[in-house]
Amino acid sequence: MLSSIFPVFHFVTASDSEAALLKWKHSLEAKGLLRDLWVSQSSNHSSPRNNNRVCSWVGISCSPGGDTTHIHLSGMGLAGTLLNFPFHHFTRLASLNLSRNALSGPLHPHISNLSSLSTLDLSRNNFFGQLPPSLGAMSKLVTINLSQNKLSGSIPPEIGTLANLEILFLYSNSLDGHIPASLGNLSSLVKLVLTTNNLAGSIPSALGDLSNLQDLDLASNRLSGPIPSALGNLSSLLCLYPAENHLSGFIPPELGKLDNLFFLELSSNNLTGRIPEFRGLNNLWRLHLHDNQLSGNISEFSCAYPNLGTIDMSNNQLYGELSSNWGRKLPLLVSFNTVAIGHFYESSETL
């Protein structure tokens, strides 16, 4: 049982690696560009002294000592599975990129044998099944991109142990369950993109501990409950996208502390109450609050954001008149509210 969670180490020669990769190639339903580019030593006339020909194969990079360090086969027209992929042969592999192919099947737990891996990119394939908890044993991972597949089940809480992880892209899958609170332990995380899944439950307050986070995209899920006020602690945040969920309650005024925020997209939820002033959002460029149940007198709302380029408050329960409190003309949508356009604010882009 332990072998399915923790890496298993083997001593591997260059000829072993070549034979193992060829075995995987032959197992593929469609070999794409590898059909004529990956060949064995015995099928060519190279010098027998060249005992590490695999380092010259397309998509393969090696260290000066001959260890395979990078496998980059993005967009090579490959179809098949990873069931015969020789994970245990590549304990010094730093990067595995098989994106933009037609690979399918489950992600094997033995992927954790890639114990030196820093970049895992299997995006834009047809992988299905659950994310293996063994991903949490790959302590050197910096980037995980498993987006645009057919993965299902919950996000393993073990991923929250990856202290070096900076990018976690799991968007456009069929993942369900709750967002693990353990993701709040990812102190190096810069981008967390979980959009377009079936995630439910509340947004964990623990995500507010991600002090290096710049992009938090949770859009197009089934998340519910309030927006945690702890998200106001994300001092590095540039983009906050929890749109198209079932979030409810007030917009926390603590979001006004996010002085680096560029995009604030809270649209298509069930948010209620008044819109906070957000006076500290001096870098805000886009503010989208449309399709909620927000209320209050819009004439009391100040829109003096120096860099704001677009604002959409349509389909709410706002009332009042746009006046000099808005500070300047900008593209504005306030349709399906009870809002009058004051003489001060006469922008042709106001709807």
Q: How far apart are CA 15 and CA 42, in angstroms?
A: 11
Least confident of 41-45, 92-96, 146-150, 176-180: 41-45
pLDDT computed for residue 227 by the predictor: 98
The answer, yes or no, to whether residue 157 has pLDDT greater than 60, is yes
Q: How far apart are CA 280 and CA 273, in angstroms?
A: 20
**Which DSSP string do the residues of 245-294 spell out, in sequence order?**
SEEEEPPPGGGGG-TT--EEE--SSEEEEPPP--TT-TT--EEE--SSEE
**pLDDT interval class at 35 (50, 70, 90):** confident
Q: Where are the beta strands (DSSP E) in 106-244?
A: 119-121, 126-130, 143-145, 150-153, 167-169, 174-175, 191-193, 200-201, 215-217, 222-225, 239-241
* Span 166-170, average pLDDT: 98
**pLDDT interval class at 344 (50, 70, 90):** very low
Please tell me whether residue 312 adopts helix, strand or coil conformation.
strand
More confident residue, 301 or 30: 30
- Other beta carbons within 10 angstroms of residue 346's beta carbon come to 10
Q: Which fold does the domain 15-37+52-199 belong to in CATH?
A: 3.80.10
CA–CA distance from 86 to each of 17, 220, 250 (Å)?
8, 36, 51
Q: Kindly list the domain boundaries of the chain, sorted by start residue.
A: 15-37+52-199, 231-350
Same topology, domains 15-37+52-199 and 231-350? Answer is yes
- Burial, 175: exposed, middle or buried (Cβ in 10 Å; 0-12, 13-18, 19+)? buried
More confident residue, 339 or 132: 132
Q: Check if the beta carbon of residue 142 is closer than 8 Å to that of residue 121.
A: no
Nearest to 290 by CA among 254, 314, 259: 314
**pLDDT interval class at 111 (50, 70, 90):** very high
Least confident of 172-181, 190-199, 258-267, 301-310: 301-310
Instruction: Tell me the one-letter amino acid at 195.
Output: T
* Span 228-237, average pLDDT: 97
Q: How far apart are CA 253 and CA 80, in angstroms?
A: 50
* Span 111-122, average pLDDT: 97
> Ranked by mean pLDDT, which of 41-50, 106-115, 147-156, 325-334 comes out on top?
147-156
Nearest to 201 by CA among 175, 170, 220, 176: 176
pLDDT digit string, tens, across residues 136-145:
999 999 999 9
The answer, yes or no, to whether residue 55 has pLDDT greater than 50, is yes
Residues whose CB is less than 8 angstroms from the CB of residue 343 and which lie 6 or more positions away in sequence, other chains included: none
Least confident of 16-25, 59-68, 266-275: 16-25
The answer, yes or no, to whether residue 114 has pLDDT greater than 90, is yes
Q: Which CATH number fits domain 231-350: 3.40.50.300, 3.40.50.1980, 3.40.1230.10, 3.80.10.10?
A: 3.80.10.10
What percent of the chain stands above pLDDT 90?
A: 65
pLDDT computed for residue 173 by the predictor: 98
pLDDT computed for residue 3 by the predictor: 44
pLDDT computed for residue 269 by the predictor: 98
**pLDDT interval class at 66 (50, 70, 90):** confident
* Span 146-161, average pLDDT: 98
The answer, yes or no, to whether residue 88 has pLDDT greater than 70, is yes
Residue appearing with tokens 């749109």: 243
